[in-house]
Amino acid sequence: MQSIARHCPQCKKYAEIELHEDTLLSCPHCAHPWGKVNKIEGVFDYCPACQSRQFYLSKDFNQFLGCVILLVGIVLVPLTYGLSLPVFALIDWWLARRIPTLINCYKCGSEFRGFKDLTKRFKPFLHHIGLKYDRYR
């Protein structure tokens, strides 16, 4: 399944919509129009929601979870004589590998899921590009 997810500019709720060819995207909560998808492959030529042409990669998981795991590892250090650190680093690494990659739009922040083959086209978030789009958020 390929989908777009974002915070609706109208009702500010987070929503995810499945992507199909030739579909009008509209918010499932308030029906506010988000944009139009012509071809699935064309989604990353122009963002369907804001026409931006720049995207970045991120990991589809809660950063918080990673921190909690690391924190638990650190707390357990005195109990396990330091053994917990490599173990938790391993869990972290294992999690990072299993977590799918998201493609995000710089301008409107939309998240695109299910485009595994296309992730090679994009790079992780670059701060200087992000700054350019700050005023749109």
Using N-to-C axis directions, what is the helix angle for 84-98 and 63-75, rounded to 10°?
170
- Tell me the β-bridge partners of 58: 102
Instruction: Give the nearest distance from C-beta 81 to Zn ion in angstroms.
Output: 50
User: Could you say whether residue 11 binds Zn ion (CB under 5 A)?
Assistant: yes
* Contact positions with Zn ion (CB under 5 A) in 55-114: 105, 107-108, 110
Instruction: Give the nearest distance from C-beta 32 to Zn ion in angstroms.
Output: 5
Q: Are 125 and 59 in contact (CB under 8 A)?
A: no
Nearer to Zn ion by C-beta: 10 or 119? Answer: 10
Q: Which residues bind Zn ion (CB under 5 A)?
A: 8, 10-11, 27, 29-30, 32, 47, 49-50, 52, 105, 107-108, 110
